[in-house]
Amino acid sequence: MRRQLTILPLAVLALLGTSSAAFGQVEIPEVTIKASVVDTDGNPVRGASVDTNWSALTGRRLEPSAKAATTDTHGNIEHKFSIYRFPVMLTVIDHVRGIGACKVLTEDPGDTVVELTAKPLARLMVKPKFDGPAPDSVGMYIQMPGEQRVMLGYVKIAGEADLMVPAEDCQIWVYSMQTDSVTKDISMKPGETTIIDDVEMKLSGLAKSIGKQALPLAISETLGVPKDFKLTDLKGKWVLMEFWGFW
């Protein structure tokens, strides 16, 4: 029986049980933000979620973080948000009423009340295309156009993304570990559906090599490995290859 050494996808292993102090983790400061949310008729929007960090891990619905604020009966909040640096995106979404809004904060507003007018949400559908088998995991950021990359939210795409989002001119940034990344400016209108099906992502050479015969591996000087070592000597055996570096 002929055996062949094949390239397998790399697995990302998390180091568990290690204190954040060991990595010199910086504590993110908290900033108190006051905001007032009304609808297009000027009526207070109560019970809506307000946050600077939204995500949709299923690609189907944006959800706030565990530290989000909720508007009171007058549509107001006064809340401490964890903000590493400005600018940030303050976003309110009420999935029940189907309304929302967002605003870029370039600096700490202090005692100034941030005013948000919630309009009907827009439906955003993103269907990326690939020049080969689709990667297992594809991510997408919804952000405001510009160099600052002010994020509205993170989305993990499962085939496609189907979201209700505040109707704004924005930019999507689609990427994966096995493809190039693609950015696209889009314009959304309240209550309307925007379908993005022309995002074409090219698989990397490594991604296209998964499942195929491995290329020859040249060894220069490695502890415990003879200089005449050839990768083909390991046919029929499991091989763990660890790649590391600094970023």
The domain limits of the chain are 28-119, 123-204
User: What would the CATH number be for the domain defined by 123-204?
Assistant: 2.60.40.1120
Provide the H-helix boundaries in 127-241.
Answer: 205-209
Q: Are 37 and 75 in contact (CB under 8 A)?
A: yes
Query: Same CATH fold, 123-204 and 28-119?
Result: yes
Predicted model pTM: 0.76
* Pick from 129, 132, 128, 137: nearest CA to 208: 132
Q: Which CATH number fits domain 28-119: 3.40.190.10, 3.40.50.300, 3.40.50.2020, 2.60.40.1120?
A: 2.60.40.1120
Q: Which residue has the tokens 């200089």?
A: 227
Tokens of 60: 């189907």
- SS3 of the chain: helix, strand, coil, percent, to 5: 5, 40, 55
Tens-digit pLDDT string for the chain (247 aa): 444 554 444 443 333 344 444 545 668 899 999 999 999 999 999 999 999 999 999 889 999 999 999 999 999 999 999 999 999 999 999 999 999 999 999 999 999 999 999 999 999 999 999 998 888 889 999 998 887 779 999 999 988 999 999 999 999 999 999 999 999 999 999 999 999 999 999 998 878 877 777 777 777 766 677 778 887 888 888 888 777 776 6
DSSP reduced 3-state for 54: strand
